A and B are shown apart, each in its own frame.
Chain A
Amino acid sequence: MEFFSHQTSYPFMATRKVWYTLSAVLMIVSLASFFTRGVNLTIDFTGGVSAEVRFTHAANVDEVRTRLAGAGFHEPQVQNFGSSRDIAIRMPPDPKQTATEIRARLEAALTGIDAAAQVAQLDVVGPQVGSELRVSAMWALFFTLVLIFLYIAFRFHTWRLSSGAILAVLHDPILVLGFFSITQMPFDLAVVAAILAVIGYSLNDTVVVFDRIRERFEGNRRSPPDVVLDQSINQTLSRTIMTKVVTSIVVVALLFLGGPVLKGFSAALLIGIIAGTYSSIYISSAIALDFGLTAEHVFPTVKKAAFDHLP
């Protein structure tokens, strides 16, 4: 079986203005939503109380909310998750109370509704932990981008490809942020991990295309760069699609079967993988071309290793 039985020859470079525009629109929408609505940060980042409670019968969300407010909890957010018997509760940090006290009061309030209610999970995060995590997540993102920029510049001998890769890859987390901002899905620490993984994977594709560009330049130094870039993308297209289809299979399995804990994580991965595939096909090489990439920049200094030296 093959997705493309013949070698494709889509004119990616000639149409790049269209793709730039599409990306720009998506990024503007994402950023606008991010800066106006923000993302629904979980207590991982804000600090606060998060609990999961299991009732023996279907729980009435409004009743739970009223009871909690009656027990003196401020702004309790109550919603069903998983099944009608499972309730998730989120509350802003209440530093005057210890986790132990919160648990006792929570249990007292809930057993009033259902004597057999069980607190399956209770997280209490102090506000300082949350704000630190926000900072270290930013640093993690920053270091990843810098290190990858340097690596690509080193391996491909030109900042043009490096910049193309980084600009294209910035586009992916922005779209993921936009998705989380528009849907207001809970944004937790696992989503940050997913975003970093997405950056890794998206670059993975970009690098495979770049590798082909390097190879094609080596053989046809006289060919115009846009032709070489188009050929490279087309030649790796079937691999790019194939790999992403397979990765999406496992991510979809995670999304639907992994349970609520992994929901945000897998959603971020899925969006990121789609965005990443798009950006590495349509954007990264096109940017390198607009930065004036020619064969001269990627001249082959790497001598092909002999067959027997391969692992």
Chain B
Amino acid sequence: MLEYARWKYLLVAAVLLLAMLFALPNVFGEDPALQVERKDHNPVTLEASRAVESFLTQRHIRVDRSYIDGGRLMVRFANVPDQLAARDAVNEQYADIYRTALSFAPRTPELLRTLGLRPMPLGLDLRGGLYLLYQVDVGAAVSQALEGYAQDARRALAGANVAVKDVTTVAVGSERPNAVRVVLPPEADVNAARSALTQPLAGLTVATESLASGSALTGVLTPAQIRERQDYAIQQNITTLRNRVNELGVSEPIVQRQGVDRINVQLPGVQNSAEVKDILGRVATLEFRLEDMQNNAYEAQQLGRAPLGSKLYTHTRFGRPVLLKREVIATGDQLTNATTGQSQEGPAVNIKLDARAGESMLKTTRANLNKRMAVVLIEKRREVSEVGGRKVNREVTDEEVINDATIRGIFSNNFQITGLAAGEARELALLLRSGSLAIPLYPIEERAVGPSLGRDNIDKGVTALIVGMAGVFLFMAIYYRTFGLVADLVLLANVVLLTALLSMMRASLSLPGIAGIILTVGMAVDANVLIYERIREEIRKGVSPQAAIRAGFEKAFSAIADSNITTLIAGLVLWVFGTGPIRGFAVVLTLGIATSMFTSLMGSRALLTLMYGGRRKIARLSI
């Protein structure tokens, strides 16, 4: 007698129905589309979407469908020329309101979309696009923080009238600087220095030591503080990169952290990497500094050195050299916003700083009314040069004074730079915003895939999938006859289930991912083969057909479980260690093992019990 519990039938049926539903959106394909997004990030309203649609109809561009998805308007077209014409028309008509991006919209019916069902997103290798991997200089983030502490310490000690020999950043028990060291002359009052430093060095572990000449106070950052600072730097870079990517108008961009100090940027559909890196690669910071009005910059330029306490800048936007005080009033990471605006004197740039920079700005402007303040844009890039046959990685810093203006009033964290032409104001605001990327990052990997190659990859992957599956199906049907057909159905269910899981996870499908699906089909056969070979063995022993089926499942179970778990281990390790398409493969491999265990153990059991179960007498099995 062959039986299977009712709840197990129900479970198999429910899982398969759900799987079919989730996998369904993948069969409809994609249409060229235009993604329209408001520049101020407000959601697009229904009225506004109708207005855009009727505008396009006026321009004789045929709109296939349009709908609002997550606050963005998606307009679908029957072909690419219509899509391109629509982009140009919208960009021209609504330049101030909307930002557009070329995209693909799934042809999924309305009903499925409202249920939140979507097809698997395609990876860059299948859709074409640009992949960039940025290295973030997290060490610089820590140095910057230390520099801030050193500056605060100097100020506090001067305020408390403590004589100081030197304040430097040093490395204590580590390769990179992680501490601030204050060296005091022998006559200095160590206790006074210590108490003066309590506030500026709050949070640091401060130790005192006596030297041959005087004493030293060292404040060390804890590893937790360093990690926090690094995380903050990465997070800030990600935010800035996201903003810049949004300015590019790319649909479904991905900006995410990778490992400790990397950020990967994936821009589907982008072909021109020059344009992108122009915007993303502007890795810069800003410094607000007072101008040194006592000394002559031209003189300093001729001498080739700046007076004490000042620094000479020859590269400026206004063509003349300037001398700036060494003290930094505010830096780019403290800039929260820079926008173009209007003042009585015409175009202006509105600047907002954070509270700490506001405080320092207030102090500076109060003491330096009618003096001049300049903004320096510091751009960093990597350059590798050969020194004595060895490649040396070197950081090159370009410093440019982008603005200098007279301080006309006392202000703190909210002020305007005026006296600019309209174009200048826009440029300055952009430069200032881009300068808020405080920690340098540089691209270490770039991969670009053309759209036709992506199309090719899909076609090849799908052909291999169909041919491979057809081969397996045919072979199984010939080798195991009726049981082979059952296995084929189970394999099909496995592919549906795997597709459904991948669609649910929104894991993007890459070419190695397709290869993973194909392999899963090949491997999922294994469980069936194990069971069927057991059934054949039992039949050879002369067991009745139904008992043979029962014994087949029973005896094959431990082999199926153990053998799949070993493959699962390999899949999981690959998942942890792999990145990009390799991780895609690992995800598919791992999920495929899980789905194939389910379908071949439960699915095929249910099907075979339906076919051969009950009390019927069966003379022989078609296996």
Q: Which residues of A contact B (CB under 8 A)?
A: 1-2, 7, 52, 54, 95-96, 98-100, 103-104, 118-129, 136-137, 139-140, 143-144, 147-148, 151-152, 155, 189-190, 192-193, 196-197, 199-201, 203-205, 207-208, 210-212, 215, 235-236, 238-239, 242-243, 245-251, 253-254, 257-259, 261-262, 265-266, 269, 302, 307-308, 310-311
Given A122-B448, A123-B447, A247-B523, residue A200 in contact with residue B453 (CB < 8 A): no
Q: Which residues of A contact B570 (CB under 8 A)?
A: 144, 148, 196-197, 199-200, 203
Q: Which of B106-114, B197-205, B579-587 contacts A (4 or more CB under 8 A)?
A: B579-587
Interface residues of B in 528-571 (CB under 8 A from A): 529-530, 533, 536-537, 540, 550, 553-555, 557-559, 562-571
Given A95-B391, A120-B449, A123-B448, residue A311 in contact with residue B601 (CB < 8 A): yes
Q: Which residues of B contact A261 (CB under 8 A)?
A: 125, 457, 511
Decide: A125 and B445 in contact? CB cutoff 8 A: yes
Contact among A136, A203, A211 for B577, CB-based, below 8 A: A136
Contact among A1, A251, A269 for B478, CB-based, below 8 A: A1
Contact among A2, A104, A148, A253 for B471, CB-based, below 8 A: A253
Task: Check if B611 is an interface residue, CB within 8 A of chain A.
Answer: no
* Nearest neighbor of A53 in chain B, beta-carbon distance: B450
**Taking the nearest CB of chain A, how far is it from the CB of B620, in angstroms?**
15
Decide: B125 and A247 in contact? CB cutoff 8 A: no
- Chain B CB within 10 Å — which of A119, A120, A148, A200 has the most? A200
Q: Which residues of B contact A119 (CB under 8 A)?
A: 448, 450
Interface residues of B in 571-623 (CB under 8 A from A): 571, 573-574, 576-578, 581-582, 585-586, 589, 601-602
Decide: B475 and A189 in contact? CB cutoff 8 A: no
- Chain B CB within 10 Å — which of A99, A189, A210, A251 has the most? A99
Decide: B522 and A208 in contact? CB cutoff 8 A: no
Task: Check if B57 is an interface residue, CB within 8 A of chain A.
Answer: no
Given A208-B530, A250-B518, residue A259 in contact with residue B475 (CB < 8 A): no
Decide: A246 and B511 in contact? CB cutoff 8 A: no
**Taking the nearest CB of chain A, how far is it from the CB of B594, in angstroms?**
12
Q: Which residues of A contact B519 (CB under 8 A)?
A: 197, 247, 250-251, 254, 269
Decide: A193 and B586 in contact? CB cutoff 8 A: yes
Decide: B273 and A99 in contact? CB cutoff 8 A: yes
Given A95-B384, A208-B530, residue A128 in contact with residue B444 (CB < 8 A): yes
- Chain A CB within 10 Å — which of B447, B452, B573 has the most? B573
**Taking the nearest CB of chain A, how far is it from the CB of B170, in angstroms?**
27
**Taking the nearest CB of chain B, how far is it from the CB of A64, in angstroms?**
18
Would you give 23 A-B contacts (Cβ < 8 Å), ordered by A? A2-B536, A95-B384, A96-B384, A122-B273, A124-B447, A128-B444, A136-B577, A143-B573, A144-B569, A144-B570, A147-B569, A148-B569, A190-B512, A197-B589, A200-B571, A203-B567, A254-B519, A258-B511, A262-B464, A307-B550, A308-B5, A310-B557, A311-B601
Decide: B274 and A100 in contact? CB cutoff 8 A: yes
Supply 13 further A-B pairs (C-beta < 8 A) apart from A95-B391, A261-B457. A2-B479, A99-B448, A120-B452, A121-B449, A126-B135, A126-B443, A137-B577, A193-B512, A196-B574, A197-B567, A210-B562, A238-B533, A262-B515
Contact among A104, A211, A239, A253 for B529, CB-based, below 8 A: A239
* Nearest neighbor of B452 in chain A, beta-carbon distance: A120
Task: Check if B383 is an interface residue, CB within 8 A of chain A.
Answer: yes
Decide: B515 and A208 in contact? CB cutoff 8 A: no
Decide: B569 and A249 in contact? CB cutoff 8 A: no
Q: Which residues of B contact A236 (CB under 8 A)?
A: 533
**Taking the nearest CB of chain B, how far is it from the CB of A271, in angstroms?**
15
Task: Check if B409 is an interface residue, CB within 8 A of chain A.
Answer: no
Task: Check if B456 is an interface residue, CB within 8 A of chain A.
Answer: yes
**Taking the nearest CB of chain A, how far is it from the CB of B88, in angstroms?**
23
Contact among A52, A129, A152 for B133, CB-based, below 8 A: A129
Q: How far is the CA of A258 from the CA of B515 in the complex (A)?
A: 8
Q: Which residues of A contact B391 (CB under 8 A)?
A: 95, 127
Given A95-B384, A258-B464, residue A204 in contact with residue B577 (CB < 8 A): no
- Chain A CB within 10 Å — which of B277, B383, B571, B585 has the most? B585
**Taking the nearest CB of chain B, how far is it from the CB of A281, in angstroms?**
15
**Taking the nearest CB of chain B, how far is it from the CB of A32, in angstroms?**
27
Q: How far is the CA of A302 from the CA of B573 in the complex (A)?
A: 28
Q: Which residues of B contact A127 (CB under 8 A)?
A: 391
Decide: B566 and A151 in contact? CB cutoff 8 A: yes
Q: How far is the CA of A128 from the CA of B393 in the complex (A)?
A: 11
- Chain B CB within 10 Å — which of A95, A99, A249 has the most? A249
Given A140-B573, A265-B515, residue A204 in contact with residue B444 (CB < 8 A): no
* Nearest neighbor of A138 in chain B, beta-carbon distance: B577
Task: Check if B45 is an interface residue, CB within 8 A of chain A.
Answer: no
Decide: B448 and A242 in contact? CB cutoff 8 A: no
* Nearest neighbor of B526 in chain A, beta-carbon distance: A243
Q: Which residues of B contact A307 (CB under 8 A)?
A: 550, 554
Given A207-B562, A250-B521, residue A190 in contact with residue B567 (CB < 8 A): no
- Chain A CB within 10 Å — which of B385, B553, B570, B574 has the most? B570
Contact among A100, A193, A250 for B582, CB-based, below 8 A: A193
Contact among B465, B468, B471, B525 for A243, CB-based, below 8 A: B525
Decide: A147 and B511 in contact? CB cutoff 8 A: no
Q: How far is the CA of A100 from the CA of B478 in the complex (A)?
A: 55
Decide: B567 and A104 in contact? CB cutoff 8 A: no
Decide: B452 and A204 in contact? CB cutoff 8 A: no
Q: Which residues of A contact B457 (CB under 8 A)?
A: 259, 261
Q: How far is the CA of A34 from the CA of B116 in the complex (A)?
A: 51
Q: Which residues of A contact B225 (CB under 8 A)?
A: none
**Taking the nearest CB of chain A, how far is it from the CB of B137, in angstroms?**
13
Decide: A310 and B553 in contact? CB cutoff 8 A: yes
Q: Which residues of B contact A193 (CB under 8 A)?
A: 512, 574, 578, 582, 585-586
- Chain B CB within 10 Å — which of A123, A207, A245 has the most? A207
Decide: A126 and B569 in contact? CB cutoff 8 A: no
Q: Which residues of B contact A211 (CB under 8 A)?
A: 558-559, 562-563
Decide: A246 and B475 in contact? CB cutoff 8 A: yes
Q: How far is the CA of A193 from the CA of B576 in the complex (A)?
A: 12
